[in-house]
Chains A and B, each alone.
Chain A
Amino acid sequence: MQLTKQQVNYCMECGVCTGSCPISQELPDFSPRQMIKKTIDQPEGEILHSSDLWACLTCSRCSDRCPVEIDFPEFIRSYRIKAIKAENLPRLSHNGMLQSISAIQAQRSNKGTQQNRTAWAEEVGKFSDKGEYFYFVGCLPYFDVIFQYLNVPSLESAKNILKILNKIGIEPVISNNECCCGHDAYWSGDEALFQKLAEQNIEAIKASGAKKILFNCPEGYNIFKEVYTEYFGKLDFEIIHVADFLLQKLSESDTESFEFNPCSNNSVTYQDPCRLGRRSGIYEEPRKLINLVPKTSLKEMEHNRENAICCGTTAWMECSNCSKVMQVKRLKEAKQAGADTIITACPKCQIHLTCATTTFDTEIKIIDLYSYLAESMNIK
């Protein structure tokens, strides 16, 4: 959604945004309210050169609460596009590897780079080139390699989703021509890269003939739903989140074919990803899925649902002390809630919170939602 100047003018300086912002809590000079106020005075002023522009997580905690519905993350994004032109650039995390991977994927059509992103699936289940359902795997095959050093098994969630889908009787399309959804490029202000990636994805989906696209990554799901439709109009396929889909399928089927064993963890909690929760409004489906597992004791952290706190960084940039503080706070919250496992529905939350466990002495386990389900369904 493009934010108009007039909308920004509606700001009544209540400060709810700054009061809600997890970054402002750690960096007292960071203030969304001040940023809005300064740009009303000087639309092309200081903000274009400020590093605060890149510090925002676009987590939408502020905009979710703003009484006049100013979409602050969108405000930030529109200024990031301008800041890049003014050579104000973000500090990329992981040496910029993930940005390079997206850029290489966008050159696919003219440079002939072939991806092999289905090898993992051949080992675990059945999938096809054409069909009704398309499983959009997202960046998991890349994360699985890059984050080996943290022992984050990113591909496990994809493997388990494929196994569960097969068990339901679905052989989804998984395509080597799928590419990065462009979420990070979009939120980092690189619209050209975003558009290129989006076009390639739409083409790959069209070629498969699929009409129902299943996403487990909240970012992919949200960007298709919120932004692809804005750029490309109505898409001729349905965008479905796997949590929603599985909940329907698993609750409607007779329980005998899906036997759930009691979970081996004592108590768990759920981390709401910002893109799935505040930006897509999916809060209850993952919780209901977790509760399908008998004897699950699902505890809520102090900040949950629309109040949930972000995992610390977005779009692979600006990882800082502040990110670490937020992550460690989150781990402590889980502990205080009496949970010994945090279930995540976002591959990035899983990576970031696992990273935090390595710097902070804690016994907390981080597991993704679908591996948790699969473990209890005995289809590991």
Chain B
Amino acid sequence: MTEQNNLEFNSGFSPKIVTIACNWCSYSAADLAGVSRFQYPPNMKIIKVMCSGRVNPNFILKAFQKGADGVLISG
């Protein structure tokens, strides 16, 4: 996948986005997208959790600490 596929703002800033996705809904959806061969930008990293209730506020802080520009929690 080329750089052009990155999520990019007008300024050329390509944010690193960490997505924490629930196994039973949003992760399955992402999986379905994969099976259907939809492409998604490589600056989006998905982490699967068994339930979004597993997420605690420190997951978000840790993502920022390690260099994420945005965190998406989906479930």
Contacts and interface: CB of A to CB of B under 8 A. Distances in A.
Interface of A: 94-97, 100-101, 103-104, 107, 111, 113, 146
B29 to A, nearest CB: 27
B53 interface: no
Interface in B47-71: 56-58, 61-62, 64-65, 67
A95 B57 contact: yes
The SS class assigned to the A binding surface is helix
Contacts of B62: 96, 100
B66 to A, nearest CB: 10
A282 B65 CA distance: 37
8 contacts: A96-B58, A96-B62, A97-B58, A97-B61, A100-B61, A104-B61, A104-B64, A111-B67
A107 B68 CA distance: 13
B31 to A, nearest CB: 28
A92 to B, nearest CB: 8
Nearest to A101: B61
Interface in B8-58: 56-58
A92 B58 CA distance: 11
The SS class assigned to the B binding surface is helix
Contacts of B67: 111
Q: Lowest 3 A-B CB distances belong to which pairs?
A: A100-B61, A95-B58, A95-B56
Interface residues of B, number: 8
B65 A104 contact: yes
B56 A100 contact: no
Contact of B57 (A97, A107, A111, A113): A97
A107 B58 contact: no
Contacts of B65: 100, 103-104, 107
A325 B29 CA distance: 47
Interface of B: 56-58, 61-62, 64-65, 67
Contacts of B56: 95, 97
Contacts of A103: 65
B52 to A, nearest CB: 15
A113 B69 CA distance: 10
Contacts of A97: 56-58, 61
A320 to B, nearest CB: 19
Contacts of A95: 56-58
Nearest to A102: B65
Nearest to A96: B58
Contacts of B61: 97, 100-101, 104
Nearest to A94: B58
Nearest to B61: A100
B51 to A, nearest CB: 16
B55 to A, nearest CB: 10
A113 B67 CA distance: 10
B69 to A, nearest CB: 10
Given A95-B58, A100-B64, 9 more contacts: A94-B58, A95-B56, A96-B58, A96-B62, A97-B56, A97-B61, A104-B61, A104-B64, A107-B65
Nearest to B62: A100
A107 B56 CA distance: 22
A79 B61 CA distance: 28
A161 B62 CA distance: 33
A101 B67 CA distance: 13
A100 B58 CA distance: 7
B12 to A, nearest CB: 16
Contacts of A107: 65
A96 to B, nearest CB: 5
Nearest to B59: A95
A91 B65 CA distance: 19
B65 to A, nearest CB: 5
A84 B58 CA distance: 21
A5 B56 CA distance: 42
A235 B5 CA distance: 52
Nearest to A97: B58
A107 B64 CA distance: 11
Among A96, A100, A104, the one with the most B-chain Cβ atoms within 10 Å of its Cβ is A100
A95 B59 CA distance: 9
Nearest to B58: A95
